[in-house]
Amino acid sequence: MSTTKATPLTNAREVEIKLAVPSAAHARRLLRTQGFNVWKPRVFEANDVFDTPDFRLRNSESLLRVREVKREAILTYKGPPEPGRHKSREELEVDASDPHTLAAILERLGFHRVFRYEKYRTEFRRGKTGTVTLDETPIGVYLELEGPPPWIDRTARLLGFAEEEYITASYARLYLEACARKGCAPTNMVFES
């Protein structure tokens, strides 16, 4: 029997920031004005975060997520972020056809769903270097700039944002902060029915 040796993945990094915007309409006008076009149309995303009962992933600032988009699934692992003004971390993703079976496999392996968050996402591009996503969430509207750090900084300035406005927190962290401000107990970051 032959064995194959796994090779390390290279360039599997996510580098991004978020920027808070007043509304989706404002963000679309701003992006259009600066020459960004829709690359992927608006879709609804349901994201389930999994962890061990002792929160081993959360405690190491890592993430294991199943994202469902149009009945398809994306399994994502994100490693701990590196310090800096941009959020930079290892990101590994694989597509799957059945989000429910994927979740069941993770549960059989000892992981449990610990958080669910929803959003509507539209992806924009201007050139090939990076992507701007417009995320409409239950706690607000955000632009997410993902690409090389120089591109992120140039694009943020082009859109009228200063470095002090960069957000590197996850949506889970932003949700917890929003709950603390409102004085309500956190559950899941989902849209009201």
Contact status, residue 102 vs residue 66, Cβ threshold 8 Å: yes
Secondary element (H or E) of residue 72: strand 72-78
Q: pTM above 0.85?
A: yes
pLDDT of residue 193: 78
The CA R_g of the chain, rounded to the nearest whole Å, is: 18
pLDDT tens readout for residues 49-68? 999 999 999 999 999 999 99
Position 124 pLDDT exceeds 90 = yes
What tokens does 52 get? 């061990």
* 3-state helix vs strand vs coil in the chain, percent to 5: 25, 40, 35
Parent domain of 92: 14-182
Dihedral over Cα of 94, 99, 101, 106: its sign: positive
Answer yes or no: is 3 within a domain.
Answer: no
Answer yes or no: is 4 within a domain.
Answer: no
What is the count of structural domains for the chain? 1
| Measured distance CA(34)–CA(7) in Å, rounded | 41
- Residue 187: pLDDT band with limits 50, 70, 90: very high
Answer yes or no: is 172 within a domain.
Answer: yes
- Residue 111: pLDDT band with limits 50, 70, 90: very high
| Measured distance CA(176)–CA(184) in Å, rounded | 9
Answer yes or no: is 192 within a domain.
Answer: no
Closest CA to 168 of 14, 25, 4, 18: 18
pLDDT of residue 107: 97
Answer yes or no: is 187 within a domain.
Answer: no
Helices (H), 62-158: 99-108, 149-158
Q: How big is the chain, counted in residues?
A: 193
Mean pLDDT over all residues of the chain?
A: 93
Q: What is the mean pLDDT of residues 25-45?
A: 98
User: Tokens 């194959």 correspond to what residue?
Assistant: 4
Answer yes or no: is 132 within a domain.
Answer: yes
- Residue 8: pLDDT band with limits 50, 70, 90: low
The CATH code of the domain that includes 153 is 2.40.320.10
Answer yes or no: is 101 within a domain.
Answer: yes
User: Tokens 């996510």 correspond to what residue?
Assistant: 14
pLDDT of residue 133: 98
Position 1 pLDDT exceeds 60 = no
Position 99 pLDDT exceeds 80 = yes
